[in-house]
Structure 1
Amino acid sequence: MSVYDHFRKEELPFVERALEMLTLVERKQAMRLTDFLDPRQAAILKSLTSQVQDVSVTANGGYEGAERVRVMLHPDYLTPEAEEFRLTLLHIAADQRFKRLEHRDVMGALLNAGLKREKFGDMIVDESGLFAVVAEEVADFVRVQVTHIHRTPVSFEKVEWASFQAPSERLTEKTITVPSPRVDAVIGEVYHLSRAKAVIPIRAGRLKVNWKVVDDPSYQLETGDMVSLAGFGRFKLLEVAGATRSGRLRMNVGLVT
Protein backbone atom coordinates (compact mmCIF):
# COMPACT_ATOMS: atom_id res chain seq x y z
CA MET A 1 0.00 0.00 0.00
CA SER A 2 1.30 3.45 -0.92
CA VAL A 3 1.54 6.24 1.66
CA TYR A 4 -0.82 8.23 -0.56
CA ASP A 5 -3.60 5.68 -0.05
CA HIS A 6 -4.14 6.99 3.49
CA PHE A 7 -5.31 10.42 2.33
CA ARG A 8 -8.15 11.95 0.37
CA LYS A 9 -7.58 13.03 -3.23
CA GLU A 10 -7.76 16.75 -2.40
CA GLU A 11 -5.10 16.28 0.30
CA LEU A 12 -2.51 14.72 -2.03
CA PRO A 13 -0.88 17.98 -3.25
CA PHE A 14 -0.17 18.94 0.36
CA VAL A 15 1.07 15.41 1.13
CA GLU A 16 3.52 15.64 -1.78
CA ARG A 17 4.84 19.03 -0.64
CA ALA A 18 5.15 17.79 2.94
CA LEU A 19 7.14 14.74 1.86
CA GLU A 20 9.45 16.95 -0.20
CA MET A 21 10.11 19.22 2.79
CA LEU A 22 10.71 16.30 5.15
CA THR A 23 13.10 14.63 2.71
CA LEU A 24 15.01 17.91 2.27
CA VAL A 25 15.39 18.33 6.03
CA GLU A 26 16.54 14.71 6.36
CA ARG A 27 19.13 15.12 3.61
CA LYS A 28 20.49 18.56 4.55
CA GLN A 29 20.07 18.25 8.34
CA ALA A 30 18.68 21.78 8.43
CA MET A 31 15.50 23.37 9.76
CA ARG A 32 12.57 24.32 7.53
CA LEU A 33 9.62 26.54 8.55
CA THR A 34 6.18 26.16 6.98
CA ASP A 35 3.50 28.77 6.47
CA PHE A 36 0.43 28.54 8.71
CA LEU A 37 -1.28 25.16 8.64
CA ASP A 38 -4.72 24.13 9.79
CA PRO A 39 -4.98 21.28 12.34
CA ARG A 40 -5.56 18.66 9.64
CA GLN A 41 -2.47 19.71 7.68
CA ALA A 42 -0.38 19.78 10.85
CA ALA A 43 -1.58 16.25 11.68
CA ILE A 44 -0.72 15.03 8.16
CA LEU A 45 2.76 16.51 8.41
CA LYS A 46 3.36 14.86 11.78
CA SER A 47 2.15 11.48 10.49
CA LEU A 48 4.54 11.65 7.53
CA THR A 49 7.62 11.83 9.75
CA SER A 50 7.43 8.02 9.72
CA GLN A 51 8.64 8.19 6.10
CA VAL A 52 12.00 9.77 7.05
CA GLN A 53 14.73 9.19 9.62
CA ASP A 54 15.46 11.38 12.65
CA VAL A 55 13.24 14.30 11.64
CA SER A 56 10.82 15.93 14.08
CA VAL A 57 8.11 18.55 13.70
CA THR A 58 7.35 21.26 16.26
CA ALA A 59 4.25 23.46 15.98
CA ASN A 60 3.69 26.98 17.28
CA GLY A 61 0.71 29.27 16.75
CA GLY A 62 1.83 31.92 19.20
CA TYR A 63 -0.11 30.80 22.26
CA GLU A 64 -1.35 27.67 24.01
CA GLY A 65 -4.34 26.22 22.19
CA ALA A 66 -3.80 28.06 18.89
CA GLU A 67 -5.67 26.41 16.04
CA ARG A 68 -3.55 27.50 13.10
CA VAL A 69 0.19 26.97 13.54
CA ARG A 70 3.51 27.30 11.77
CA VAL A 71 5.50 24.08 11.88
CA MET A 72 9.27 23.75 12.11
CA LEU A 73 10.72 20.63 10.52
CA HIS A 74 14.06 19.90 12.13
CA PRO A 75 16.58 17.15 12.90
CA ASP A 76 15.83 15.39 16.19
CA TYR A 77 18.89 16.86 17.87
CA LEU A 78 17.86 20.49 17.26
CA THR A 79 15.22 22.35 19.29
CA PRO A 80 13.71 25.45 17.64
CA GLU A 81 13.38 28.63 19.71
CA ALA A 82 10.08 30.54 19.85
CA GLU A 83 11.40 33.47 17.78
CA GLU A 84 12.39 31.11 14.97
CA PHE A 85 8.71 30.56 14.16
CA ARG A 86 8.53 34.23 13.06
CA LEU A 87 5.12 34.97 14.54
CA THR A 88 3.88 38.53 15.03
CA LEU A 89 0.90 39.47 17.17
CA LEU A 90 -1.06 42.51 16.00
CA HIS A 91 -3.68 44.34 18.03
CA ILE A 92 -6.45 45.83 15.92
CA ALA A 93 -7.61 49.22 17.20
CA ALA A 94 -11.09 50.12 15.93
CA ASP A 95 -14.07 52.23 16.91
CA GLN A 96 -16.76 49.57 17.29
CA ARG A 97 -19.58 51.77 18.58
CA PHE A 98 -21.53 51.41 15.34
CA LYS A 99 -20.41 47.99 14.09
CA ARG A 100 -18.87 45.20 16.12
CA LEU A 101 -16.17 43.51 14.08
CA GLU A 102 -16.11 39.73 14.02
CA HIS A 103 -13.63 37.01 13.09
CA ARG A 104 -14.85 36.82 9.49
CA ASP A 105 -14.56 40.61 9.08
CA VAL A 106 -10.87 40.57 10.01
CA MET A 107 -10.15 37.56 7.81
CA GLY A 108 -11.96 39.14 4.88
CA ALA A 109 -9.95 42.35 5.22
CA LEU A 110 -6.63 40.47 5.20
CA LEU A 111 -7.64 38.40 2.17
CA ASN A 112 -8.90 41.47 0.32
CA ALA A 113 -5.53 43.14 0.91
CA GLY A 114 -3.97 40.35 -1.16
CA LEU A 115 -2.64 38.09 1.59
CA LYS A 116 -2.78 34.34 1.16
CA ARG A 117 -4.55 32.48 3.96
CA GLU A 118 -1.29 30.67 4.69
CA LYS A 119 0.32 33.92 5.86
CA PHE A 120 -1.88 34.53 8.89
CA GLY A 121 -2.97 32.36 11.75
CA ASP A 122 -5.68 32.75 14.36
CA MET A 123 -7.81 35.84 14.69
CA ILE A 124 -8.81 36.39 18.29
CA VAL A 125 -11.98 38.30 19.11
CA ASP A 126 -12.79 38.57 22.80
CA GLU A 127 -13.49 41.04 25.58
CA SER A 128 -9.88 42.25 25.61
CA GLY A 129 -10.03 43.28 21.96
CA LEU A 130 -9.21 42.17 18.43
CA PHE A 131 -5.93 40.45 17.61
CA ALA A 132 -4.42 38.76 14.56
CA VAL A 133 -1.45 36.40 14.45
CA VAL A 134 0.50 36.91 11.23
CA ALA A 135 3.75 35.75 9.71
CA GLU A 136 6.53 38.15 10.63
CA GLU A 137 7.38 38.70 6.97
CA VAL A 138 3.95 40.24 6.19
CA ALA A 139 3.35 42.20 9.43
CA ASP A 140 4.51 45.54 8.04
CA PHE A 141 2.45 45.02 4.88
CA VAL A 142 -0.68 44.49 6.97
CA ARG A 143 -0.01 47.59 9.07
CA VAL A 144 0.35 49.77 5.97
CA GLN A 145 -2.26 48.28 3.66
CA VAL A 146 -5.21 47.46 5.92
CA THR A 147 -6.61 50.78 7.14
CA HIS A 148 -10.34 49.95 7.06
CA ILE A 149 -12.46 46.90 7.78
CA HIS A 150 -15.72 47.52 5.97
CA ARG A 151 -16.15 51.24 6.64
CA THR A 152 -14.54 51.18 10.06
CA PRO A 153 -11.08 52.79 10.28
CA VAL A 154 -8.59 50.44 11.93
CA SER A 155 -4.93 50.38 12.85
CA PHE A 156 -2.72 47.37 13.51
CA GLU A 157 -0.13 47.68 16.26
CA LYS A 158 2.49 45.10 17.19
CA VAL A 159 2.06 43.57 20.65
CA GLU A 160 4.71 41.71 22.61
CA TRP A 161 3.77 38.10 23.27
CA ALA A 162 4.72 38.41 26.94
CA SER A 163 1.85 40.86 27.51
CA PHE A 164 -0.79 38.72 25.76
CA GLN A 165 -3.32 36.68 27.71
CA ALA A 166 -4.49 33.74 25.60
CA PRO A 167 -8.29 33.49 25.33
CA SER A 168 -10.20 30.55 26.71
CA GLU A 169 -12.38 28.55 24.35
CA ARG A 170 -15.87 30.04 24.21
CA LEU A 171 -18.63 27.49 23.79
CA THR A 172 -22.39 27.84 24.10
CA GLU A 173 -23.63 24.52 25.41
CA LYS A 174 -26.72 22.85 24.02
CA THR A 175 -28.39 19.50 24.76
CA ILE A 176 -29.87 17.48 21.92
CA THR A 177 -31.35 14.02 21.51
CA VAL A 178 -30.67 11.90 18.42
CA PRO A 179 -31.53 8.39 17.30
CA SER A 180 -27.83 7.57 16.79
CA PRO A 181 -24.38 9.24 16.69
CA ARG A 182 -24.52 9.38 12.88
CA VAL A 183 -23.22 12.74 11.76
CA ASP A 184 -26.26 13.52 9.60
CA ALA A 185 -28.56 12.99 12.59
CA VAL A 186 -26.41 15.15 14.88
CA ILE A 187 -25.97 18.12 12.56
CA GLY A 188 -29.66 17.91 11.74
CA GLU A 189 -30.50 18.42 15.42
CA VAL A 190 -27.81 21.04 16.04
CA TYR A 191 -28.75 23.18 13.02
CA HIS A 192 -32.46 22.34 12.81
CA LEU A 193 -32.21 20.56 9.46
CA SER A 194 -34.21 17.59 8.26
CA ARG A 195 -32.17 14.44 7.68
CA ALA A 196 -32.62 14.88 3.91
CA LYS A 197 -31.37 18.49 4.00
CA ALA A 198 -28.46 17.56 6.26
CA VAL A 199 -27.23 14.97 3.77
CA ILE A 200 -26.87 17.47 0.90
CA PRO A 201 -23.94 19.53 2.27
CA ILE A 202 -22.29 16.37 3.61
CA ARG A 203 -22.31 14.76 0.17
CA ALA A 204 -21.01 18.04 -1.28
CA GLY A 205 -17.90 17.87 0.92
CA ARG A 206 -18.86 20.82 3.13
CA LEU A 207 -18.60 18.90 6.41
CA LYS A 208 -15.37 18.45 8.36
CA VAL A 209 -14.81 16.38 11.48
CA ASN A 210 -11.59 17.24 13.28
CA TRP A 211 -10.68 19.36 10.22
CA LYS A 212 -10.92 16.41 7.85
CA VAL A 213 -13.59 16.32 5.14
CA VAL A 214 -16.23 13.66 5.84
CA ASP A 215 -18.73 12.97 3.07
CA ASP A 216 -20.35 9.86 4.56
CA PRO A 217 -23.66 10.72 6.29
CA SER A 218 -23.40 7.54 8.41
CA TYR A 219 -20.07 8.56 9.95
CA GLN A 220 -20.21 7.98 13.73
CA LEU A 221 -19.27 10.91 15.94
CA GLU A 222 -17.39 10.45 19.21
CA THR A 223 -16.91 12.57 22.32
CA GLY A 224 -14.35 15.30 21.68
CA ASP A 225 -14.97 15.56 17.94
CA MET A 226 -14.92 19.07 16.44
CA VAL A 227 -17.51 19.37 13.68
CA SER A 228 -17.79 22.19 11.15
CA LEU A 229 -20.41 22.66 8.45
CA ALA A 230 -19.68 25.37 5.89
CA GLY A 231 -22.19 28.18 6.19
CA PHE A 232 -23.49 27.03 9.58
CA GLY A 233 -20.58 27.14 12.02
CA ARG A 234 -18.76 24.75 14.31
CA PHE A 235 -19.51 22.72 17.40
CA LYS A 236 -17.75 20.27 19.67
CA LEU A 237 -19.33 17.05 20.89
CA LEU A 238 -18.76 17.43 24.62
CA GLU A 239 -20.53 14.38 26.00
CA VAL A 240 -22.77 11.47 25.13
CA ALA A 241 -24.90 11.56 28.26
CA GLY A 242 -26.82 8.32 27.83
CA ALA A 243 -30.17 7.15 26.52
CA THR A 244 -33.58 8.70 27.08
CA ARG A 245 -36.63 6.60 27.99
CA SER A 246 -37.55 6.48 24.33
CA GLY A 247 -34.14 5.06 23.41
CA ARG A 248 -32.68 8.21 21.84
CA LEU A 249 -29.18 9.37 22.73
CA ARG A 250 -28.76 12.51 24.78
CA MET A 251 -25.75 14.57 23.75
CA ASN A 252 -24.20 17.79 25.02
CA VAL A 253 -22.60 19.90 22.32
CA GLY A 254 -20.71 23.19 22.53
CA LEU A 255 -21.36 25.72 19.78
CA VAL A 256 -18.25 27.75 19.00
CA THR A 257 -19.03 31.46 19.40
Structure 2
Amino acid sequence: MRFEKAATSEGEGAATRQTKARGSKRRFPIRRMMWRIVFIAAALPIVVALIYRFVPPVSTLMIGRWIAMAGVDRQWVPLEAISTELVRAVIAAEDARFCSHGGVDWVALNDVLDDAGDEGPARGASTITMQTVKNVFLWPGRSYIRKGLEIPLSLMADVVWGKPRTMEIYLNVAEWGEGIFGAEAAAQRAFGKTAKQLSRREAALLAAALPNPLRRDARRPSRYMAVYAGRIGARMPSATISCTGA
Protein backbone atom coordinates (compact mmCIF):
# COMPACT_ATOMS: atom_id res chain seq x y z
CA MET A 1 0.00 0.00 0.00
CA ARG A 2 2.79 2.38 0.93
CA PHE A 3 4.53 1.46 -2.30
CA GLU A 4 1.41 2.29 -4.28
CA LYS A 5 1.09 5.66 -2.49
CA ALA A 6 4.74 6.42 -3.10
CA ALA A 7 4.40 5.46 -6.74
CA THR A 8 1.32 7.62 -7.06
CA SER A 9 3.08 10.55 -5.38
CA GLU A 10 6.07 10.21 -7.66
CA GLY A 11 3.78 10.01 -10.68
CA GLU A 12 1.92 13.15 -9.61
CA GLY A 13 5.23 14.90 -8.97
CA ALA A 14 6.50 13.96 -12.43
CA ALA A 15 3.26 15.13 -14.00
CA THR A 16 3.50 18.44 -12.12
CA ARG A 17 7.10 18.92 -13.26
CA GLN A 18 6.12 18.17 -16.85
CA THR A 19 3.24 20.67 -16.65
CA LYS A 20 5.56 23.34 -15.24
CA ALA A 21 8.13 22.58 -17.93
CA ARG A 22 5.52 22.92 -20.66
CA GLY A 23 4.29 26.18 -19.15
CA SER A 24 7.86 27.43 -18.91
CA LYS A 25 8.49 26.50 -22.53
CA ARG A 26 5.39 28.44 -23.54
CA ARG A 27 6.42 31.52 -21.55
CA PHE A 28 10.05 31.72 -22.57
CA PRO A 29 9.46 31.67 -26.36
CA ILE A 30 7.02 34.57 -25.91
CA ARG A 31 9.63 36.49 -23.93
CA ARG A 32 12.29 35.73 -26.53
CA MET A 33 9.94 36.83 -29.29
CA MET A 34 9.19 40.08 -27.45
CA TRP A 35 12.89 40.79 -27.01
CA ARG A 36 13.48 40.08 -30.70
CA ILE A 37 10.74 42.55 -31.61
CA VAL A 38 12.29 45.17 -29.32
CA PHE A 39 15.74 44.53 -30.80
CA ILE A 40 14.45 44.81 -34.38
CA ALA A 41 12.50 47.98 -33.56
CA ALA A 42 15.66 49.52 -32.09
CA ALA A 43 18.05 48.30 -34.79
CA LEU A 44 15.93 49.08 -37.85
CA PRO A 45 16.25 52.90 -37.63
CA ILE A 46 20.01 52.55 -37.23
CA VAL A 47 20.23 50.33 -40.31
CA VAL A 48 18.06 52.73 -42.32
CA ALA A 49 20.10 55.71 -41.10
CA LEU A 50 23.32 53.98 -42.19
CA ILE A 51 21.82 53.39 -45.63
CA TYR A 52 20.62 57.00 -45.82
CA ARG A 53 24.12 58.17 -45.05
CA PHE A 54 24.96 57.27 -48.64
CA VAL A 55 21.57 56.99 -50.40
CA PRO A 56 19.20 59.96 -50.91
CA PRO A 57 16.40 59.51 -48.36
CA VAL A 58 12.71 60.05 -48.93
CA SER A 59 10.29 61.46 -46.36
CA THR A 60 7.20 59.77 -44.99
CA LEU A 61 5.14 62.59 -46.54
CA MET A 62 6.60 61.78 -49.96
CA ILE A 63 5.81 58.10 -49.47
CA GLY A 64 2.26 59.03 -48.46
CA ARG A 65 1.79 61.05 -51.62
CA TRP A 66 3.13 58.24 -53.80
CA ILE A 67 0.70 55.81 -52.14
CA ALA A 68 -2.13 58.27 -52.81
CA MET A 69 -0.99 58.55 -56.45
CA ALA A 70 -0.24 62.27 -55.92
CA GLY A 71 2.63 64.13 -57.52
CA VAL A 72 6.00 64.68 -55.87
CA ASP A 73 8.51 67.26 -57.11
CA ARG A 74 11.89 66.62 -55.48
CA GLN A 75 15.29 66.98 -57.12
CA TRP A 76 18.05 65.78 -54.83
CA VAL A 77 21.15 67.98 -54.88
CA PRO A 78 24.30 67.78 -52.73
CA LEU A 79 24.83 70.39 -50.03
CA GLU A 80 27.48 72.18 -52.11
CA ALA A 81 24.81 72.79 -54.77
CA ILE A 82 22.68 74.74 -52.25
CA SER A 83 23.33 78.39 -51.44
CA THR A 84 25.05 78.98 -48.13
CA GLU A 85 22.48 81.74 -47.68
CA LEU A 86 19.76 79.09 -47.33
CA VAL A 87 21.88 77.15 -44.83
CA ARG A 88 22.29 80.34 -42.81
CA ALA A 89 18.58 81.14 -43.12
CA VAL A 90 17.28 77.81 -41.83
CA ILE A 91 19.76 77.83 -38.94
CA ALA A 92 18.81 81.41 -38.05
CA ALA A 93 15.10 80.58 -38.26
CA GLU A 94 14.90 77.02 -36.96
CA ASP A 95 17.90 76.10 -34.82
CA ALA A 96 20.43 78.75 -33.81
CA ARG A 97 22.50 76.22 -31.82
CA PHE A 98 22.58 73.60 -34.57
CA CYS A 99 26.38 73.46 -34.58
CA SER A 100 26.73 73.17 -30.80
CA HIS A 101 24.17 70.56 -29.73
CA GLY A 102 24.21 66.81 -30.25
CA GLY A 103 20.92 66.53 -32.09
CA VAL A 104 18.75 67.72 -29.20
CA ASP A 105 18.93 71.25 -27.80
CA TRP A 106 18.53 70.43 -24.12
CA VAL A 107 18.68 74.10 -23.14
CA ALA A 108 15.72 75.00 -25.36
CA LEU A 109 13.87 71.83 -24.34
CA ASN A 110 14.26 72.62 -20.63
CA ASP A 111 13.10 76.19 -21.24
CA VAL A 112 9.98 74.91 -23.00
CA LEU A 113 9.21 72.47 -20.18
CA ASP A 114 9.71 75.21 -17.59
CA ASP A 115 7.32 77.50 -19.47
CA ALA A 116 4.70 74.79 -20.06
CA GLY A 117 1.31 75.37 -18.48
CA ASP A 118 -1.45 72.95 -17.60
CA GLU A 119 -2.30 72.46 -21.27
CA GLY A 120 1.25 71.57 -22.29
CA PRO A 121 4.03 73.55 -23.97
CA ALA A 122 2.98 76.66 -25.87
CA ARG A 123 6.01 76.46 -28.18
CA GLY A 124 8.28 73.79 -29.53
CA ALA A 125 11.97 73.06 -29.15
CA SER A 126 12.57 71.02 -32.29
CA THR A 127 16.07 71.18 -33.70
CA ILE A 128 16.86 70.77 -37.38
CA THR A 129 18.00 67.23 -36.56
CA MET A 130 14.68 66.47 -34.84
CA GLN A 131 12.74 67.85 -37.79
CA THR A 132 14.85 65.76 -40.15
CA VAL A 133 14.24 62.47 -38.34
CA LYS A 134 10.55 63.36 -38.08
CA ASN A 135 10.41 63.84 -41.86
CA VAL A 136 12.37 60.68 -42.62
CA PHE A 137 11.23 58.21 -39.94
CA LEU A 138 8.03 59.47 -38.31
CA TRP A 139 4.66 61.01 -39.10
CA PRO A 140 3.37 64.61 -39.21
CA GLY A 141 1.20 66.12 -36.51
CA ARG A 142 1.73 66.78 -32.83
CA SER A 143 1.84 64.01 -30.25
CA TYR A 144 3.86 63.21 -27.17
CA ILE A 145 4.60 59.73 -28.55
CA ARG A 146 6.14 61.14 -31.70
CA LYS A 147 8.08 63.75 -29.75
CA GLY A 148 9.38 61.04 -27.43
CA LEU A 149 10.63 59.05 -30.41
CA GLU A 150 12.26 62.10 -31.99
CA ILE A 151 14.74 62.51 -29.13
CA PRO A 152 16.56 59.12 -29.31
CA LEU A 153 16.35 59.14 -33.11
CA SER A 154 17.93 62.61 -33.21
CA LEU A 155 20.76 61.59 -30.90
CA MET A 156 21.39 58.57 -33.14
CA ALA A 157 21.19 60.59 -36.37
CA ASP A 158 23.66 63.18 -35.09
CA VAL A 159 26.22 60.40 -34.59
CA VAL A 160 25.48 58.42 -37.77
CA TRP A 161 24.98 61.34 -40.17
CA GLY A 162 26.92 64.21 -38.62
CA LYS A 163 26.06 67.86 -39.18
CA PRO A 164 26.78 68.21 -42.93
CA ARG A 165 24.77 65.15 -43.92
CA THR A 166 21.92 66.08 -41.56
CA MET A 167 21.69 69.54 -43.13
CA GLU A 168 21.91 68.04 -46.62
CA ILE A 169 19.06 65.62 -45.88
CA TYR A 170 16.94 68.30 -44.23
CA LEU A 171 17.22 70.68 -47.17
CA ASN A 172 16.33 67.88 -49.58
CA VAL A 173 13.28 66.46 -47.77
CA ALA A 174 11.71 69.58 -46.23
CA GLU A 175 8.26 70.38 -47.59
CA TRP A 176 7.89 73.75 -49.34
CA GLY A 177 4.40 73.50 -50.78
CA GLU A 178 1.86 71.02 -52.12
CA GLY A 179 4.02 68.21 -53.50
CA ILE A 180 7.16 70.41 -53.41
CA PHE A 181 10.05 68.87 -51.48
CA GLY A 182 13.62 70.01 -51.15
CA ALA A 183 15.45 73.26 -51.76
CA GLU A 184 16.06 72.72 -55.48
CA ALA A 185 12.38 72.21 -56.36
CA ALA A 186 11.39 75.05 -54.02
CA ALA A 187 13.87 77.52 -55.50
CA GLN A 188 12.86 76.74 -59.05
CA ARG A 189 9.15 76.97 -58.26
CA ALA A 190 9.37 80.17 -56.22
CA PHE A 191 12.09 82.12 -58.03
CA GLY A 192 12.85 80.29 -61.27
CA LYS A 193 16.46 79.61 -60.30
CA THR A 194 18.55 76.86 -58.75
CA ALA A 195 19.05 76.47 -55.02
CA LYS A 196 22.69 77.50 -55.51
CA GLN A 197 21.63 80.90 -56.92
CA LEU A 198 19.39 81.98 -54.04
CA SER A 199 19.98 85.44 -52.62
CA ARG A 200 19.82 86.27 -48.92
CA ARG A 201 16.29 87.66 -49.22
CA GLU A 202 15.07 84.66 -51.21
CA ALA A 203 16.65 82.25 -48.73
CA ALA A 204 15.02 84.10 -45.84
CA LEU A 205 11.62 83.87 -47.54
CA LEU A 206 12.01 80.12 -48.05
CA ALA A 207 13.02 79.70 -44.40
CA ALA A 208 10.02 81.78 -43.33
CA ALA A 209 7.72 79.40 -45.21
CA LEU A 210 8.95 76.25 -43.43
CA PRO A 211 6.70 76.39 -40.35
CA ASN A 212 3.58 76.27 -42.55
CA PRO A 213 4.60 75.44 -46.13
CA LEU A 214 1.09 74.70 -47.36
CA ARG A 215 -0.16 78.19 -46.45
CA ARG A 216 3.00 80.29 -46.88
CA ASP A 217 4.24 80.99 -50.38
CA ALA A 218 7.70 82.51 -50.89
CA ARG A 219 6.56 83.80 -54.29
CA ARG A 220 3.70 85.81 -52.77
CA PRO A 221 4.57 86.41 -49.12
CA SER A 222 1.99 87.89 -46.82
CA ARG A 223 2.86 90.98 -44.82
CA TYR A 224 3.54 88.87 -41.74
CA MET A 225 5.74 86.47 -43.72
CA ALA A 226 7.68 89.37 -45.27
CA VAL A 227 8.33 90.86 -41.82
CA TYR A 228 9.33 87.46 -40.44
CA ALA A 229 11.72 86.94 -43.38
CA GLY A 230 13.23 90.33 -42.60
CA ARG A 231 13.94 89.24 -39.03
CA ILE A 232 15.51 86.01 -40.29
CA GLY A 233 17.67 88.00 -42.73
CA ALA A 234 18.89 90.21 -39.89
CA ARG A 235 20.01 87.15 -37.91
CA MET A 236 21.63 85.35 -40.83
CA PRO A 237 25.09 87.05 -40.71
CA SER A 238 25.62 85.76 -37.15
CA ALA A 239 24.39 82.21 -37.87
CA THR A 240 27.13 79.63 -37.34
CA ILE A 241 27.37 77.27 -40.32
CA SER A 242 30.97 76.06 -40.05
CA CYS A 243 29.88 72.60 -38.80
CA THR A 244 27.95 72.00 -42.03
CA GLY A 245 30.96 72.45 -44.28
CA ALA A 246 28.89 74.86 -46.37
Tell me the TM-score range normalised by the shorter chain.
Answer: under 0.3
> TM-score, normalization: structure 2?
0.24
Higher strand share: 1
* Higher RCO (CA < 8 A, seq sep 6+): 2
> TM-score, normalization: structure 1?
0.23
Larger radius of gyration: 2
Higher helix share: 2
